[in-house]
Amino acid sequence: MEAIALGGEPKRVAARELGLDVVEVPENEYAIVRLEGPVPECIHRGWRYVMESFLPEHGYRHSGAPDFEAYGPGDMCATDYEMELWVPIEKM
């Protein structure tokens, strides 16, 4: 398995060379929650929304598959920082 490392020009390197583990994640349905604000506060708010509002109000539950945080460019401490929380879901 290969990874792309960005540091100037992209180059292909083996994930293991970067000290990374390779994990295969099965296909899943995800709720993608767009977050704004400083990390980690926006992540805590996002999870609270997912667990206390979105899932129960829409008849879903966490599927037990891995969840993801997708970080965007910019200052992670800024009030306008944007990222996404990917939550694997299944109908109850």
pLDDT tens track for 15-46 = 788 888 887 888 999 999 999 999 999 999 99
Q: How confident is the model at residue 8 (pLDDT cuts 50, 70, 90)?
A: low
What is the per-residue pLDDT across 51-81, written as a single tens digit (0 to 9) for each? 999 999 999 999 999 999 999 899 999 999 9
CA atoms 64, 65, 71, 76: torsion sign: positive
Which structural domains are found in the chain, ordered by start?
27-91 (3.20.80.10)
Q: How far is CA 70 from CA 81, 82, 84, 85, 86, in A?
A: 12, 9, 5, 6, 8
